[in-house]
């Protein structure tokens, strides 16, 4: 999917037809939202717009190559990385019309402008950060990430709260190593873009995951309107949406209440600060 020969130029214009990016921090429910679009008739594309693709580029970021391959565009969340503008555009232009793909990218003006120019329509999703780190710990333990292998649940959860490094081989150095608070603050500006559909995982999960059927239907309606499929039945999609995705199996609301120890709570409060209040997931730091 990346440039096979560095002299090859991408097509002048992106392919006609809608293409959608489901963007969120890791473990926020991007696969759940992607499945809803698939049930609405969109094809699922395997590409994920995330930091590790900067390592897979045939020409990794180098200031000296900027004149040929374009300036750096930052992709990723906790450890964002630069990729050349031209290389990223070619990857995006290889995605056919009426396909949906996932992404894990915080907001930058360069990335937002590039996606708009390439006519990628964006749906962003957030989730209670406490449930995010629980889900992340379970996922990385299951896939035997080196930082988690053989460790107790409590140590793994502590590691997830502090942050984690990619499983993938690193060729390109991150532009920075972010805390969760820094990553969330860098992500939330997507909400200010009127052309982006902004969702909450808790409003999509439905009663099977501890949520509301009414809110689930309302937000499926919002998605259908956004993708131009308002004639479809939100109720029919709702009945089929829970479970069955590659990384989404037991997602639910408030699972952190069962998993956090008092020590985990104190550490998380130090790491996240007042962001839970800003994001609407709590009314004070006394939780």
Q: What is the pLDDT of residues 77-102, one digit of tens each?
A: 999 999 999 999 999 999 999 999 99
Residue 287 lies in a domain: no
Do 104 and 51 contact (CB within 8 A), yes or no? yes
Residue 89 lies in a domain: yes
Residue 100 lies in a domain: yes
Query: Which has more confidence, 135 or 251?
Result: 135
Q: What pLDDT shows up at residue 90?
A: 94
Residue 114 lies in a domain: yes
Q: What pLDDT shows up at residue 144?
A: 78
Mean pLDDT of 193-199: 97
Mean pLDDT for the chain? 90
The total of structural domains in the chain comes to: 1
Residue 9 lies in a domain: no
Mean pLDDT of 267-281: 95
Q: Are strands 81-84 and 72-75 parallel, antiparallel or unpaired?
A: antiparallel
Domain of 196, in residue numbers = 19-278
CATH of the domain at 51: 3.40.50.300
Residue 241 lies in a domain: yes
CA distances from 127 to 17, 72, 261 (A): 30, 29, 20
Q: What pLDDT shows up at residue 213?
A: 96
- 148 pLDDT band, cuts 50/70/90, is confident
* Closest to 87 (Cα-Cα) out of 10, 202, 182: 10
**Weakest-pLDDT range from 19-23, 138-142, 166-170:** 166-170
Residue 272 lies in a domain: yes
Q: What pLDDT shows up at residue 129?
A: 97
Q: What pLDDT shows up at residue 7?
A: 45
- 247 pLDDT band, cuts 50/70/90, is very low
Residue 284 lies in a domain: no
Global pTM exceeds 0.85: yes
pLDDT of 237 > 60? The answer is yes
Q: What pLDDT shows up at residue 60?
A: 93
Q: What is the DSSP string of the chain?
A: ---SSTTPPPPSSPPSS-EEEEE-STTSSHHHHHHHHHHTTPEEEEEEESTHHHHHSSS---GGGHHHH-SEEEE-SSS-EEEEHHHHHHHHHTSPTTEEEEE-----HHHHHHHHHTTEEEEEEE--HHHHHHHHHHHHHHTT-TTTTT--HHHHHHHHHH----SSPP-S--S----HHHHHHHHGGGGG-TTSEEEEHHHHS-GGGTS-HHHHHHHHHHHHHHTT-TTS-HHHHHHH-SS-SSS-SS--SSTHHHH--HHHHHHHHHHHTTHHHHTTS-SSS--
The string of pLDDT tens digits covering residues 115-133 is: 999 999 999 999 999 999 9
């Amino acid at each position: 999917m990346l440039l096979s020969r560095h002299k090859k130029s991408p097509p002048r214009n992106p392919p006609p037809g809608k293409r959608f990016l489901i963007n969120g921090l890791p473990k926020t429910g991007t696969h759940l939202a992607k499945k809803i679009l698939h049930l609405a008739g969109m094809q699922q594309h395997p590409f994920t717009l995330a930091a590790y693709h900067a390592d897979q580029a045939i020409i990794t970021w180098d200031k000296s190559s900027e004149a040929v391959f374009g300036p750096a565009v930052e992709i990723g969340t906790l450890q964002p990385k630069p990729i050349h503008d031209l290389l990223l555009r070619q990857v995006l232009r290889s995605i056919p019309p009426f396909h949906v793909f996932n992404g894990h990218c915080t907001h930058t003006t360069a990335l937002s402008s590039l996606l708009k120019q390439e006519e990628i329509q964006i749906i962003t999703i957030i989730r209670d950060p406490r449930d995010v780190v629980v889900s992340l710990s379970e996922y990385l333990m299951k896939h035997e990430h080196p930082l988690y292998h053989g460790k107790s649940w409590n140590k793994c959860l502590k590691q997830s709260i502090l942050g984690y490094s990619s499983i993938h081989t690193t060729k390109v150095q991150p532009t920075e190593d972010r805390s969760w608070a820094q990553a969330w603050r860098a992500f939330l500006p997507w909400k200010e873009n009127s052309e982006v559909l902004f969702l909450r995982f808790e409003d999509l999960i439905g009663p099977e995951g501890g949520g509301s059927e009414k809110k689930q239907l309302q937000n499926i309606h919002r998605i259908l309107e956004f993708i131009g499929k308002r004639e479809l039945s939100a109720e029919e999609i709702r009945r089929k949406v829970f479970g069955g995705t590659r990384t989404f199996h037991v997602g639910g609301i408030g699972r952190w209440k069962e998993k956090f120890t008092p020590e985990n709570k104190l550490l998380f409060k130090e790491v996240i600060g007042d962001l839970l209040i800003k994001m609407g997931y709590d009314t004070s730091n006394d939780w």
